[in-house]
């Protein structure tokens, strides 16, 4: 293949004999590297998606070849222009592949710094206009490469919260799609327009805008910063477990999504990551930095992002995570999914009698649906039941369920005596708030950005930056106090304290209590199903209904001038 490509490209440059030997070799070497890079890149999709070790050496080899290819085309650009006819879009393709490699490295390692690397390569393509000549060629497949590059760049910018860049990219992509469909009259016009609609809805999913003095929008990040989690104070006795792995599962019907991320998944993955750091050296192979450059801090927990998985996929990834979980580590399972309720009546109250949450039903895999409908005594098949998670409670397990049937998971049993906590969303929201569900769940918003969620339930849709920052400071104080309430509680289940040593889990637990306390004090949240629950249950008077915490919440409401939304003397109401 390389030889014929070589002859073909060289034949345009005059008689072959005229080409100096060194230049012939340059083109041959380039063709070899290009070929090799494509083979390795295409092989990436055959690697198993789960399991953390098998893929690393293959990724390393692919990076090596792309590093060589990138440097090679930079050093020999003149010869490749003259003798090979190297086009700018081909250089763009190489840069785009490197960007994709970094993005996939991020997906596999959860190391946010690789997103910055992907961003720098994608940015270079745009700044240097590598794809600008594509529109002059009469080849629709080249234009599609350009459109896909835009879609991938947008995903990386969303994950880095670079919303201003996203808006520019969406505008450019919109123009490109219009030009493409106008010139080629293609059938995929509807699909590309859907991409635009999805990203537009994704950008607008946040219910509250924070504004600068000049009315530009402040971009807030919700990753864990140095000051994020409440610090453990002297004398707090907590477990030493660390969050090592997380499954983030999104299977909500009609929730805003982009690429394979629902807005709930997007919010939760950021709650399990630290703020990204810039990697010191460009094009360093991931994991190959000198030890002096290694950031001296704990890594992010590893994550699997599963969009609408079938039961088999979910169970396979769960088993892989469970198998590779290191000692003294925690596995987190986050389920944002439509509730599945039991169809028949059951006399027993076992772990398969309350339904659970939806898994994707690929009709071609299971043909039991017809039988199922005829017999009410069978259990729901396309459903993750609480009992399905029992085998995995042999190791420390932290479960978050955001669903209209989250309470199914209240009927858990801790069979093996390992630390086990389930945080469960309300199963219904007051009518006034329900129309928001498409833009993401309120419960998950509280776990990701508690101040925004608090503003939203208080009826506020925008806020000045100064006030936002003042409230964030106050919220940090509330979090510190919640941490003290938990660790000083006499009757709290030990599982909560065993998880409390991990920064991410500590933050999730304190936000959960803040969420629960806020909803219990809110005037329109009056039904039990409007409140989050947990397994094991928290002692209410010491946590979610603690008078000291309630006073803080009213204080926060006063700063925002929304005290009238909350009940003043909630204790008398119970």
Q: Which of 1-15, 280-294, 296-310, 407-421 has the highest mean pLDDT?
A: 407-421
Are 366 and 345 within 8 A, CB to CB? no
Give me the residues paired with residue 194 across strands: none
Which tokens belong to 108? Answer: 């596999």
> In this structure, what is the dihedral angle of CA atoms 288, 291, 294, 299, given to the nearest 10 degrees?
80
Cα–Cα distance between 260 and 158 in angstroms, integer?
13
pLDDT tier, 18 (very low <50, low <70, confident <90, very high otherwise): confident
Cα–Cα distance between 483 and 197 in angstroms, integer?
41
The answer on pLDDT for 464 being more than 70 is yes
Instruction: Given CATH 1.20.120, say whether it is the number of domain 21-207.
Output: no
The answer on pLDDT for 152 being more than 90 is yes
Q: Which CATH class is domain 242-277+299-343+350-361+379-565?
A: alpha beta
Which tokens belong to 465? Answer: 């930056």
Q: Where in the chain is the domain with CATH 3.40.50?
A: 242-277+299-343+350-361+379-565
* pLDDT tens by residue, 220-262: 888 887 777 777 776 667 788 999 999 999 999 889 999 899 9
Cα–Cα distance between 427 and 406 in angstroms, integer?
6
Of the candidates 180, 178, 92, which has an alpha carbon nearest to the alpha carbon of residue 129? 92
Q: Where in the chain is the domain with CATH 1.25.40?
A: 21-207
Rounded to two decimals, the pTM is: 0.90
pLDDT the model gives residue 16:
54
* pLDDT tens by residue, 308-360: 999 999 999 999 999 999 999 999 999 999 999 987 666 677 888 888 999 98
pLDDT the model gives residue 368:
40
């Amino acid at each position: 293949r390389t030889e014929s490509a070589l002859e073909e490209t060289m034949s345009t440059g005059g008689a072959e004999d005229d080409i100096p030997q060194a230049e012939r070799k340059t083109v041959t070497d380039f063709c070899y590297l290009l070929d090799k890079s494509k083979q390795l890149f295409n092989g990436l999709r055959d690697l198993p998606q789960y399991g953390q070790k098998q893929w690393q050496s293959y990724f390393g080899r692919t990076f090596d070849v792309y590093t060589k290819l990138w440097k090679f085309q930079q050093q020999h650009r003149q010869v490749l222009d003259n003798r090979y006819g190297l086009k700018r879009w081909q250089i763009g393709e190489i840069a785009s592949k490197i960007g994709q490699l970094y993005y996939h490295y991020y997906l596999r390692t959860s190391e946010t710094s690789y997103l910055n690397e992907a961003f720098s390569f994608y940015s270079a393509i745009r700044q240097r206009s590598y794809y600008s000549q594509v529109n002059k060629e009469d080849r629709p497949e080249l234009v599609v490469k350009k459109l896909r590059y835009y879609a991938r760049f947008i995903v990386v910018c969303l994950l880095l919260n670079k919303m201003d860049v996203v808006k520019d990219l969406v505008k450019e992509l919109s123009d490109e799609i219009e030009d493409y469909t106008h010139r080629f009259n293609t059938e995929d016009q509807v699909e590309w327009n859907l991409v635009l609609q999805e990203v537009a809805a994704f950008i607008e999913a946040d219910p509250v805008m924070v504004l600068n003095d000049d009315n530009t929008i402040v971009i807030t990040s919700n990753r864990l910063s140095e000051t994020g989690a409440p610090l453990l104070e002297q004398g707090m006795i907590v477990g030493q477990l660390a969050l090592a792995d997380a499954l983030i599962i999104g299977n909500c019907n009609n929730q805003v999504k982009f690429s394979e991320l629902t807005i709930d998944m997007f919010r939760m993955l950021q709650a399990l990551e630290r703020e990204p750091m810039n990697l010191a050296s460009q094009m360093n192979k991931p994991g190959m930095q000198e030890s002096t450059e290694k950031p001296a801090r704990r890594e992010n927990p590893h994550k699997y992002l599963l969009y609408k998985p079938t039961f088999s996929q979910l169970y396979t990834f769960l088993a892989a995570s469970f198998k590779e979980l290191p000692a003294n580590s925690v596995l987190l399972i986050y389920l944002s999914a439509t509730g599945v309720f039991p169809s028949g009546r059951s006399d027993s109250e076992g772990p398969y009698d309350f339904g659970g949450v939806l898994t994707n039903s690929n009709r071609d895999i299971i043909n039991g649906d017809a039988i199922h409908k005829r017999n009410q005594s069978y259990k729901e098949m396309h459903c993750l039941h609480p009992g399905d998670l029992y085998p995995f409670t042999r190791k420390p397990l932290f479960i978050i369920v955001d669903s209209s049937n989250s309470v199914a998971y209240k009927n858990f049993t801790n069979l093996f005596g390992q630390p086990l906590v389930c945080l469960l969303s309300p199963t219904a929201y007051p009518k006034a708030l329900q129309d928001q569900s498409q833009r993401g769940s309120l419960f998950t918003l509280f776990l990701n950005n508690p101040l925004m969620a608090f503003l939203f339930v208080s009826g506020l849709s925008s806020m000045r930056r100064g006030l936002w920052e003042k409230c964030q400071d106050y919220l940090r104080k509330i979090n510190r106090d919640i941490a003290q309430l938990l660790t000083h509680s006499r009757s709290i289940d030990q599982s909560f304290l065993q998880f409390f040593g991990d920064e991410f889990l500590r933050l999730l637990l304190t936000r959960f209590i803040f969420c629960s306390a806020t909803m219990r004090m809110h005037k329109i949240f009056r039904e039990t199903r409007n409140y989050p629950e947990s397994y094991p249950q928290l002692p209410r008077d010491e946590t979610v209904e603690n008078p000291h915490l309630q006073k803080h919440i009213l204080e926060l409401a006063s700063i925002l001038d929304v005290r009238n939304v909350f009940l003043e003397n909630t204790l008398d109401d119970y």
